């Protein structure tokens, strides 16, 4: 995966959900959870793995822009989520955590 940021004319919400779906599909295939790291230089790193193992247990899959990350936060909530994206249902729990000195959002699929 690569860095994703929407064109200025595109609304970030639909793009945010489509990107979220792409990243949520990774733990379905590889196991573990999706981790969206705290913003650094207007980007958020996206990782997949077993969050209980610390950052060493995570695999880096790319970055998304901070505006996309903020849209994902607005369109989901802490706790249980059921979201339909492109006709597919996603069920996950969103929580917050820390890895070393950085905050992160954890998306654990149900």
Please write the tens of the pLDDT for every residue from 75-100.
999 999 999 999 999 999 999 999 88
Looking at residue 100, its pLDDT comes to 80
Q: Is the pLDDT of residue 2 over 50?
A: no
Task: Return the closest-CA partner of residue 62 out of 82, 86, 45.
Answer: 45
Phi first, then psi: give them for residue 89, nearest 5 degrees.
-90, 135
The domain ranges of the chain are: 12-109
User: What pLDDT does 9 receive?
Assistant: 43
Could you tell me the fold of the domain covering 12-109?
A: Beta-Lactamase (3.30.450)
Q: What is the pTM of this model?
A: 0.84
Question: What are 16-74's pLDDT values in tens digits?
Answer: 999 999 999 999 988 899 999 999 999 999 999 998 888 888 999 999 999 999 999 99
The SS3 assignment for 7 reads coil
């Amino acid at each position: 995966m690569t860095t994703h940021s929407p064109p200025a004319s595109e609304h970030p919400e639909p793009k945010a959900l489509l990107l979220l779906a792409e990243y949520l599909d990774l733990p379905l295939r590889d196991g573990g959870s999706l981790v969206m790291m705290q913003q650094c230089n207007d980007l958020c790193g996206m990782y997949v793995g077993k969050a209980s193992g610390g950052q060493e247990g995570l695999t880096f899959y790319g970055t998304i822009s901070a505006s996309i990350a903020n849209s994902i936060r607005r369109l989901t909530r802490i706790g249980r989520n059921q979201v339909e994206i492109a006709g597919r249902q996603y069920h996950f729990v969103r929580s917050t955590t820390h890895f070393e000195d950085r905050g992160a959002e954890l998306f654990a699929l149900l």
